[in-house]
C-alpha cells in the first residue's frame, strides 16, 4: 500500500463507485495527489462534478479514507489503485474504472494471461452446473484464469471447478469482501483467496445493494478476454454481463440449449445475436490459439463429475417450468387463481431459504404471514432497524421478497 491509496479511497468515497469521472482525473492530472491538493477552486473549474459530488469533495477528508485504509491493514487486505503496479491495464481501458480495488489474495496478471469470465443463472439446472464445473476445471487446469461473481448456481460451479483443478480463479463481489454475504460460499471464497483473489470495489464491510451487482459485472467482463454465459433465462443478470462485455469489445460465448429449456432462452438469444456457440473449453481456447499458446492437455469429462459434487453446489430458487410443462392457456381464470392460492400456501409452509442468514429467514417468515413495512418487522422481531434492512436486502437479492409501494415488503408477484 502507498500513501496515494488514501487519496483514491477519498475520491471513491466522494464520487461513489462506478463513476466515469475517475477517467477524467486520470487523463487531466499528473497524479491523484495533484487533484486533491488543487482544492475547491480547482474542483469547481473542472466543471464536471454534480452539486452533490462537489459537496462530498469539500466535506470528506483524508481522515475518512484512513479509517478504511487502517481497516484493510488490520484485515490483511490489499488496496489496489490506478497508481499500483498490480492494477490491470484492462480496467483502465473501460468507461468506469474502479478508483479502488480491495483484494484478498493475489490478483493475477490478467493483462498477460488468458482470462475467461463465466456467468449464468443462480437457479442452475444440474446439467448447467456440470457444464460450468467441467469448463471451469478444464480452463483452469490448463493455465486459464476463471473470473466469476461468487453467486449461487453457475458462478459457484465455475469457481469450484477451477479450484478442483488447482488453478486460479477471481471472485468479484458486489459487496465488501469482509461482509458476511452468502455464508454457504464462505469456505469457497477462502480457498479462492489462497490461490487467486477475492476482490471488490466496495470497502470491506459494505453490505450488498441491488444496484451493486449489475455494477460489479463490468469488472468481471473487463478482467476477461471473453465471457461465457452457461445458462440464462430471458431476464437473467448474466445477460447484463454479456451486454457489458460487448460494450467493452470483449468476446461473448454461450452454450446452446433446448428450446424448451427456460434457462436456455437467454443463451439461445445471445447466439442469435452473434455470440459464439460453444460446448466445451476447447471451443473457447480455439478462439485464442493465435495469441496464447495453450493446448488442453487435461480435461474433465462430464461423465466423471459425480452427482454428489453437483448436488453440493447451492442454487437459488427452483428452476421455472419448461415450455412443455407450462400451464395451458386454456385453463380458466378460476383454476389459475386456485393454483396461485395453493402455491402461496406451499410457500408459507416452506420457511427454509438456501444461502441466506438466519436473520433473513426470520424476516422472511414474518412477510410470509403478512406483507409488512420495516417498522412492522422491527416491532415483531425486536431486531435493530439496520439488521432488518440488511435482511431485506439479502431477501430481495435472492428474489424471495420485493418492495411494493408505500414501503411494504411482500412475496414477489
Are 292 and 210 part of one and the same domain? yes
Evaluate whether residue 84 is within a structural domain. no
**Alpha helix (H) residue ranges in 250-357:** 265-272, 281-286, 307-311, 333-349
Could you tell me the CATH number of the domain that includes residue 356?
A: 1.10.10.10
Q: Is residue 404 part of a domain?
A: yes
Say which residues have a Cβ less than 8 Å from residue 71's Cβ, sequence separation at least 6: 203, 204, 205
Q: What is the mean pLDDT of residues 256-260?
A: 86
Give the residue-averaged pLDDT of 211-233: 92
Which of these ranges, 30-34, 165-169, 258-262, has the smallest mean pLDDT? 258-262
- Final residue before a domain boundary, out of 76, 95, 124: 76
Asked whether residue 393 is assigned to any structural domain, the reply reads yes
Q: How far apart are CA 266 and CA 255, in angstroms?
A: 10
Q: What's the CATH number where 161 sits?
A: 3.40.50.450
Are 410 and 404 a contacting pair, CB within 8 Å? yes
Residue 98 falls within a domain, yes or no?
Answer: no
In a domain, 95, yes or no: no
Kindly report, residue by residue over 266-309, the tens digit of the pLDDT. 899 999 999 999 999 999 999 998 888 887 777 888 888 888 88
pLDDT reported for residue 173: 96
pLDDT, mean over the chain: 85
Cα 312 from Cα 350, distance rounded (Å): 20
**pLDDT range class, residue 365, cuts 50, 70, 90:** confident
Same structural domain, 117 and 42 = no
Bridge partners, 105 (sequence order) = 197
CB 239 within 8 A of CB 233: no
Cα 41 → chain centroid: 38
Please tell me the predicted confidence (pLDDT) of residue 409: 84
Q: Which residues share a beta bridge with 251?
A: 226
State which residues form the domain around 17: 4-76
pTM: predicted TM-score of the whole model, two decimal places: 0.76
Same domain, yes or no, for 143 and 236? yes
pLDDT band at 344 (very low <50, low <70, confident <90, very high): very low
Tally the domains of the chain.
3
Q: Place 389 in a pLDDT band, splitting at 50, 70 and 90.
A: confident
Degrees to nearest 5, angle at CA 175 with 171 and 177: 60
Do 215 and 349 lie in a common domain?
no
Same domain flag for 299 and 338: no
Give the C-alpha separation, 243 to 382, whole Å. 43
Residue 88 lies inside a defined structural domain of this protein:
no
Task: Please give the pLDDT value at position 347.
Answer: 41
Distance (Å) of CA 38 to CA 21, 35, 53: 16, 5, 16
Residue 124 lies in a domain: yes
Amino acid at each position: 500500500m502507498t500513501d496515494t491509496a488514501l487519496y483514491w479511497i477519498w475520491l471513491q468515497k466522494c464520487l461513489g463507485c462506478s463513476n466515469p469521472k475517475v477517467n477524467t482525473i486520470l487523463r487531466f492530472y499528473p497524479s491523484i495527489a495533484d487533484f486533491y491538493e488543487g482544492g475547491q477552486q480547482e474542483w469547481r473549474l473542472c466543471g464536471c462534478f454534480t452539486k452533490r459530488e462537489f459537496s462530498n469533495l469539500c466535506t470528506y477528508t483524508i481522515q475518512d479514507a484512513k479509517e478504511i485504509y487502517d481497516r484493510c491493514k488490520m484485515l490483511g487486505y490489499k488496496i489496489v489503485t490506478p497508481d499500483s503496479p498490480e492494477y490491470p491495464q484492462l480496467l483502465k481501458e473501460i468507461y468506469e474504472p474502479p478508483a479502488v480495488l480491495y483484494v484478498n489474495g493475489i490478483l493475477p496478471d490478467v493483462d498477460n494471461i488468458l482470462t475467461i469470465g463465466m456467468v449464468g443463472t443462480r437457479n442452475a439446472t444440474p446439467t448447467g452446473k456440470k457444464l460450468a464445473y467441467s469448463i471451469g476445471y478444464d480452463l483452469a487446469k490448463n493455465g486459464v484464469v476463471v473470473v466469476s461473481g461468487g453467486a449461487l448456481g453457475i458462478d459457484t460451479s465455475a469457481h469450484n471447478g477451477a479450484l478442483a483443478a488447482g488453478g486460479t480463479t477471481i471472485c468479484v463481489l458486489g459487496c465488501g469482501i469482509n461482509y458476511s454475504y452468502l455464508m454457504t460460499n464462505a469456505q469457497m471464497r477462502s480457498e479462492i483467496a489462497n490461490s487467486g483473489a477475492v476482490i471488490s470495489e466496495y470497502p470491506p464491510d459494505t453490505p450488498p445493494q441491488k444496484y451493486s451487482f449489475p455494477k460489479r459485472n463490468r469488472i468481471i467482463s473487463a478482467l476477461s478476454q471473453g465471457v461465457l454465459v452457461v445458462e440464462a433465462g430471458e431476464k437473467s443478470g448474466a445477460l447484463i454481463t454479456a451486454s457489458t462485455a460487448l460494450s467493452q469489445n470483449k468476446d461473448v460465448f454461450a452454450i446452446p440449449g433446448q428450446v424448451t429449456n427456460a434457462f436456455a432462452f437467454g443463451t439461445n438469444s445471445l447466439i442469435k445475436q452473434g455470440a459464439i456457440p460453444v460446448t466445451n473449453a476447447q471451443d473457447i481456447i480455439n478462439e485464442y490459439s493465435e495469441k496464447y499458446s495453450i493446448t488442453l492437455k487435461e480435461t474433465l469429462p462430464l461423465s466423471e463429475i459425480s452427482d454428489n459434487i453437483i448436488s453440493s453446489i447451492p442454487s437459488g430458487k427452483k428452476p421455472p417450468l419448461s415450455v412443455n410443462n407450462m400451464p395451458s392457456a386454456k385453463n380458466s381464470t378460476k383454476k389459475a387463481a386456485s393454483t396461485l392460492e395453493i402455491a402461496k400456501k406451499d410457500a408459507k409452509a416452506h420457511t427454509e431459504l438456501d444461502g441466506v442468514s438466519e436473520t433473513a429467514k426470520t424476516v422472511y417468515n414474518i412477510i410470509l404471514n403478512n406483507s409488512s413495512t420495516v417498522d412492522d418487522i422491527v416491532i415483531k422481531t425486536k431486531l435493530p432497524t439496520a439488521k432488518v434492512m440488511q435482511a431485506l436486502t439479502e431477501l430481495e437479492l435472492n428474489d424471495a421478497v420485493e418492495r411494493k409501494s408505500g414501503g411494504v415488503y411482500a412475496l414477489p408477484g
